Structure 1
Amino acid sequence: MAEDMWIGGFHAIEAALDRHPERLRQVAVVAGRDDKRVRRLCKLAASAGVAVVEHPDDWFARLTSGGRPLRHQGVAARMTLRPAGDEAELGDLLSAATETPLLLVLDGVTDPHNLGACLRGAEAAGALAVIAPKDRACGLTPAARKTSAGSSERLPFIQVTNLARTLADLKQQGVWIVGTAGSGPVSLYECDFACEPVAVVMGAEGSGLRRLTQDRCDQLIHIPMASGVESLNVSVASAVCLFEFRRQRLAGG
């Protein structure tokens, strides 16, 4: 059953109103606030047929989501959130793709803010979906959704039971599996995947790619960095890789 909870922030609510207004039950704004941003949000809600109510500051201060205080910017929405997809949805996405697929695979990312930032970067780079394991990894928590700035409601997030098996299935469907590791023998900028379906696989914070995941990759690459810098945050590294592949495709198209 899809989860029902409060989300906060202008970007997240506007994205939900734009893409999935049927999931919103109510939009709440701080009583007495009448600036341009609030008026625009109220207009969007009215156009979508979603009720708008006003509440005092202390009502917003009591809002929680996932057991934590909600970061709301003075606006919040009660909605049925988009659930994570599964292997079947991934298959449907690949079958229906009209462009060469670009996927982001996260091998055990546990920080919700990193997941949210990865979703945001992946959507901006034109990725078809983000894939992650169900166990020992972060799901679509309120913090992840907030950090994604609406991407969690637009970009499919697929949680799979067995990541190694999913990578093997992707290979059978013609997707080239590219893992990122500091020890990767090939530089990102020496790769040429302009015409290839690609899944970029990123490791967990700190530990990187698991050995079993590395074994499923067709190629291991590294991001060239200035001396003294050992690694990048997973969301930054994923964006660097995805946008390089996007650049190649635009240059080759």
Structure 2
Amino acid sequence: MTSQRASTRSFEQKRKTEENPDESLIWGINAVAEALRGNPRRLSEIFIEKGKAGARLQEIIEAAREAEVRLRFVELERVGLPSGCRHQGVAARQAEAELLPLAELLAAEPERILLLDSIQDLGNLGSILRSALAAGFSSVVITSERSAPLTGAVTRASAGAVAHLRISRVVNLAEALRQLKSQGYWIYGAVAEAEAQSMYQTDFSGKIGIVIGSEGKGIRPLVQKCCDHLITIPMPGAFNSLNASVAAALVMFETVRQAQRSSS
């Protein structure tokens, strides 16, 4: 019975792939290697077939790690490749936006930066990016691991905001926070903890970075330690948990409210 269900799921997945091919995917050793050489910023993630080996595959793996492109070792039939394609054990997904090195993002000296710690839901990520643009957070940092890739689904969920944002992808978010702090940013981590400081009693003046954690576990402990302040959204109701995209929007717009009040 279990094998029958698995076979049915595999058939359904294959049928959906053939009816709706993922146009963001490229495959084959030459195609992926060339994309890595040409512009790795446009690659959201690279898939390596589980158990596959070879000198040229290893070169791709090493180049991906050097370029800080997300690597995933998977069964390639699960990623949406067209039936019968010669993938040679490797495929890649092209991002909907060019991803910047952190140094390039910081060179523009943005007043506000949104930092997303392992947001894995495509819809949540898109909604957060849409709110970020609306709130004036035009610079965003995401993690290369444990983060949803910038696919067409994210772009659609963001209502096209992705194209208007400057997005950097980093391997080590804690290290990125240390870089921001060295350049005069105050870092605020949004948490669902009653003992944290209310965002309404927090001074968000100056250059700031707002950290939003993942949907289930929130901000990781090591990242929390790099925050200058942990803030929370006070909720008088008995239910005290908000969707990550809603929480992100509330915090970002509170910083906007304070900035508008201080300038008036």
Question: Per the alignment, in what secondary structure is the counterpart of residue 144 of structure 1?
Answer: helix
TM-score using structure 1 length = 0.65
Deviation at 1:213, TM superposition (A): 0.7
Residue of structure 1 aligned with 2:108, choices 93, 101, 104: 93
Residue of structure 2 aligned with 1:187, choices 168, 184, 198: 198
| Contact 1:84-1:140 within 8 A present in 2 as well | no
How many residues are aligned here? 176
Question: Per the alignment, in what secondary structure is the counterpart of residue 217 of structure 2?
Answer: coil
Question: What one-letter code is carried by the residue in structure 1 that aligns with 2:196?
Answer: P
Q: Which residue of 2 aligns with 1:54?
A: none
Distance 2:177 2:113 in 1: 11
Distance 1:211 1:91 in 2: 24
The one-character-per-residue Cα deviations of 1:153-198 (angstroms, maximum 9, x if unpaired) are: 00112111211000000001011000011225210100112x3111
Question: What one-letter code is carried by the residue in structure 2 that aligns with 1:188?
Answer: M
| Contact 2:96-2:150 within 8 A present in 1 as well | no
Unaligned runs of 5+ in 1: 7-65, 69-78
Distance 2:123 2:80 in 1: 16
Distance 1:189 1:80 in 2: 36
| In the alignment, structure 1 residue 224 sits paired with structure 2 residue 239 | no
Q: CA RMSD in A?
A: 2.2
Deviation at 1:216, TM superposition (A): 0.2
Q: Which residue of 2 aligns with 1:163?
A: 173
Distance 1:80 1:185 in 2: 36
Residue of structure 1 aligned with 2:211, choices 184, 201, 225: 201
Residue of structure 2 aligned with 1:233, choices 234, 240, 243: 243
TM-score using structure 2 length = 0.62
Deviation at 1:5, TM superposition (A): 4.4
The one-character-per-residue Cα deviations of 1:20-54 (angstroms, maximum 9, x if unpaired) are: xxxxxxxxxxxxxxxxxxxxxxxxxxxxxxxxxxx
| Contact 1:93-1:128 within 8 A present in 2 as well | no
Q: Which residue of 2 aligns with 1:145?
A: 155
Deviation at 1:80, TM superposition (A): 8.8
Question: Per the alignment, in what secondary structure is the counterpart of residue 159 of structure 1?
Answer: strand
Q: Which residue of 2 aligns with 1:63?
A: none
Distance 1:5 1:182 in 2: 36
Question: What one-letter code is carried by the residue in structure 2 that aligns with 1:226?
Answer: P
Unaligned runs of 5+ in 2: 1-22, 26-78, 82-93
Identity of aligned residues (%): 39
Moved over 6 A (4+): none
Q: Which residue of 1 aligns with 2:183?
A: 173
Deviation at 1:93, TM superposition (A): 2.5
Q: Which residue of 2 aligns with 1:134?
A: 144
The one-character-per-residue Cα deviations of 1:118-149 (angstroms, maximum 9, x if unpaired) are: 10000000013111110111121111111011
Q: Which residue of 1 aligns with 2:29?
A: none
Q: Which residue of 2 aligns with 1:56?
A: none
Higher relative contact order (CA 8 A, sep 6+): 1
Deviates more, 1:179-188 or 1:216-225: 179-188
Distance 1:122 1:80 in 2: 19
Distance 2:149 2:100 in 1: 11
Q: Which residue of 2 aligns with 1:76?
A: none
Distance 1:175 1:128 in 2: 16
Deviation at 1:214, TM superposition (A): 0.5
